[in-house]
Structure 1
Amino acid sequence: MKKRESFNSQWGFILACIGSAVGMGNIWMFPTRVSLYGGGSFLIPYFIFVILIGSTGVIGEMCLGRGTRSGPIDAFGMACETKGRRKIGETLGWIPVLGAFAMAIGYTVVMGWILKYMVGTFTGATLAAGDIDGFAANFGSMASAWGNNFWQILALLICMIILMFGVGSGIEKANKVMMPIFFVLFIILGVYVSFQPGSAAGYQYIFRVDPKALASPTTWIFALGQAFFSLSVAGNGTLIYGSYFSDEEDIPASAGRVAFFDTMAAMLAALVIIPAMATTGAQLNQGGPGLLFIFLPHLIHSMPGGWLIAIIFFTAVFLAGMTSLMNLYEAPIATVQEKTGFSRIPSCCIIAGIGAVVSLLIQGIVSNWMDLLSIYICPLGAGLAGIMLFWVFGKQYVENEVNKGRKHPFAKWFYPICKYLYVPICFLVLILGIVLGGIG
Structure 2
Amino acid sequence: MRENRDNIVEDEALAADGAAAAAGARGRDAWASRTGFILACVGSAVGMANIWLFPYRVADLGGAAFLIPYLLFVALLGFTGVIGEMAFGRAMGAGPLGAFGKAMELRGIAHGRVIGRVIGLVPTIGQLALAVGYAVVLGWAFNYLVASLDGQLIATEQVGAFFGAVASDMGNVVFHLLGLALTFAIMILGISRGIERINKVLMPAFFVLFVIVGVRVLMMPGALDGYEYLLVPRWEALANPTTWVYALGQAFFSLSLAGGGTLVYGSYLKQDVDVVRSARDVAIFDTLAALVAAFTVVPALFAFGLDVSSGPPLLFITLPGVFQEMPLGNLFMIVFFLAVVFAAVTSLMNLFESPVEALQDQFRLPRWAAVAVVAVIAVAVGLPLESGDAVSLWMDVISIYVIPVGAFLAAVMFFWVCPRGFARRQAELGHGPIGPWFDVLTRYVFVGVTAAVIVLGIFFGGIG
- TM > 0.5 fold call: yes
- The Cα offsets for residues 201-225 of structure 1, whole Å up to 9 and x where unpaired, read as 1111111111211111010000000
**Could you list the runs of 5+ residues in structure 1 that have no partner in the other structure?**
none
**For residue 380 of structure 2, what is the aligned residue in structure 1?**
357
**Aligned residue among 144, 155, 158 for 1:117:** 144
Partners of 1:164 and 1:125 in 2: CA distance = 33
**For residue 180 of structure 1, what is the aligned residue in structure 2?**
204
**Aligned residue among 324, 332, 350 for 1:327:** 350
**For residue 104 of structure 1, what is the aligned residue in structure 2?**
131
CA contact (8 A) 2:98 2:362 kept: no
Residues 1:50 and 2:74 aligned together? yes
- Mean CA deviation greater in 99-108 or 394-403: 394-403
Partners of 1:412 and 1:11 in 2: CA distance = 28
- The Cα offsets for residues 280-306 of structure 1, whole Å up to 9 and x where unpaired, read as 122211122x11110100111101110
Please state how far the C-alpha of 1:394 moved relative to its aligned partner. Answer: 3.7
Partners of 2:307 and 2:297 in 1: CA distance = 11
Partners of 2:239 and 2:223 in 1: CA distance = 28
**For residue 367 of structure 1, what is the aligned residue in structure 2?**
392
* Divergent runs of 4+, >6 A: none
**Aligned residue among 109, 115, 119 for 1:92:** 119
**For residue 150 of structure 1, what is the aligned residue in structure 2?**
174
**For residue 370 of structure 2, what is the aligned residue in structure 1?**
347
- The one-letter amino acid of 1:341's match is R
Q: So what's the TM-score if we normalise by structure 1? A: 0.97
- The one-letter amino acid of 1:318's match is V
- The one-letter amino acid of 2:126's match is G
CA contact (8 A) 1:63 1:242 kept: yes
Residues 1:420 and 2:444 aligned together? yes
Partners of 2:203 and 2:329 in 1: CA distance = 24
Q: How many residues align?
A: 435
Query: What aligned pairs does 1:229-240 form with structure 2 within 5 A after superposition?
Result: 229-240=253-264
Q: So what's the TM-score if we normalise by structure 2? A: 0.92
**For residue 337 of structure 1, what is the aligned residue in structure 2?**
360
CA contact (8 A) 2:58 2:230 kept: yes
- The one-letter amino acid of 1:110's match is V
Please state how far the C-alpha of 1:378 moved relative to its aligned partner. Answer: 1.1
Partners of 2:153 and 2:349 in 1: CA distance = 25
Partners of 1:86 and 1:339 in 2: CA distance = 12
Partners of 1:395 and 1:276 in 2: CA distance = 51
CA contact (8 A) 1:46 1:223 kept: yes
Partners of 1:357 and 1:292 in 2: CA distance = 27
- The one-letter amino acid of 1:312's match is V
- Mean CA deviation greater in 36-45 or 254-263: 36-45
CA contact (8 A) 1:113 1:143 kept: yes
Larger Rg: 2
Please state how far the C-alpha of 1:86 moved relative to its aligned partner. Answer: 2.7
Please state how far the C-alpha of 1:270 moved relative to its aligned partner. Answer: 0.1
**For residue 402 of structure 2, what is the aligned residue in structure 1?**
377
Residues 1:61 and 2:82 aligned together? no
**Aligned residue among 232, 245, 255 for 1:221:** 245
RMSD: 1.0
Query: What aligned pairs does 1:428-439 form with structure 2 within 5 A after superposition?
Result: 428-439=452-463
- The Cα offsets for residues 240-260 of structure 1, whole Å up to 9 and x where unpaired, read as 000000001100000000000
Residues 1:297 and 2:324 aligned together? no
Partners of 2:316 and 2:339 in 1: CA distance = 14
- SS of residue matched to 2:220: coil
**Aligned residue among 193, 198, 211 for 2:235:** 211
Please state how far the C-alpha of 1:108 moved relative to its aligned partner. Answer: 0.7
- The one-letter amino acid of 1:383's match is F
Partners of 1:146 and 1:8 in 2: CA distance = 40
- The one-letter amino acid of 1:374's match is S
- The one-letter amino acid of 1:6's match is A
Partners of 1:395 and 1:124 in 2: CA distance = 60
Please state how far the C-alpha of 1:395 moved relative to its aligned partner. Answer: 3.1
Residues 1:74 and 2:101 aligned together? no
**Could you list the runs of 5+ residues in structure 2 that have no partner in the other structure?**
1-22
Query: What aligned pairs does 1:24-35 form with structure 2 within 5 A after superposition?
Result: 24-35=48-59
**For residue 405 of structure 1, what is the aligned residue in structure 2?**
430
**Aligned residue among 198, 201, 204 for 2:225:** 201
CA contact (8 A) 2:74 2:251 kept: yes
User: Matched residues, percent identical?
Assistant: 46
Partners of 1:411 and 1:254 in 2: CA distance = 18
Partners of 1:168 and 1:220 in 2: CA distance = 38
- The Cα offsets for residues 375-396 of structure 1, whole Å up to 9 and x where unpaired, read as 1111101100000011111432
Please state how far the C-alpha of 1:88 moved relative to its aligned partner. Answer: 2.1
- The Cα offsets for residues 301-353 of structure 1, whole Å up to 9 and x where unpaired, read as 10111001101100001001100000001111111111221110111111101
Please state how far the C-alpha of 1:411 moved relative to its aligned partner. Answer: 3.3
